[in-house]
């Protein structure tokens, strides 16, 4: 039988509750989802970090300066044109390196 786990019960695919989940099990499911979501977010941040770095390496200095001007105009220049250092710090912290 195919089942789904909702926040409060294990259900069949039609959504009919098969049996309720205890508070402890609900907590475990919530934690597992948070861990999975954090892993997904970290992976996407790492991909974006590499894509930005690759794009910058393909640009000449003038194009990089234009990118910086666009970012400044959009209000995202607080800590550098591409926020490399900030992304890198978050990635390291989440991975346990800081």
- pTM, 2 dp: 0.60
> Chain-wide mean pLDDT for the chain?
79
Bigger pLDDT: 50 vs 2: 50
- pLDDT tens for each residue of 20-68: 666 677 667 677 777 788 888 899 999 999 999 999 999 999 998 898 8
Confidence at residue 10, expressed as pLDDT on a 0 to 100 scale: 59
pLDDT at residue 8 tops 60 = no
CA distances from 35 to 11, 29, 71 (A): 22, 10, 32
The dihedrals phi and psi of 83, each to the nearest 5 degrees, come to 55, 30
Domain ranges of the chain: 3-95
CA distances from 68 to 47, 54, 55, 57, 86 (A): 21, 16, 13, 14, 16
């Amino acid at each position: 039988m195919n089942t789904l786990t909702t926040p409060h019960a294990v259900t069949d695919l039609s959504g009919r509750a098969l049996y309720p989940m205890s508070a402890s099990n609900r907590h475990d499911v919530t934690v597992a989802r948070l861990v999975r979501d954090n892993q997904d977010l970290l992976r996407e941040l790492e991909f974006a970090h590499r894509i930005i770095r690759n794009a910058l390496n393909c640009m000449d200095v003038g194009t990089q300066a234009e990118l910086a001007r666009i970012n400044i105009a959009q209000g995202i220049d607080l800590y550098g044109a591409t926020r490399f250092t900030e992304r890198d710090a978050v990635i390291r912290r989440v991975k346990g390196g800081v």
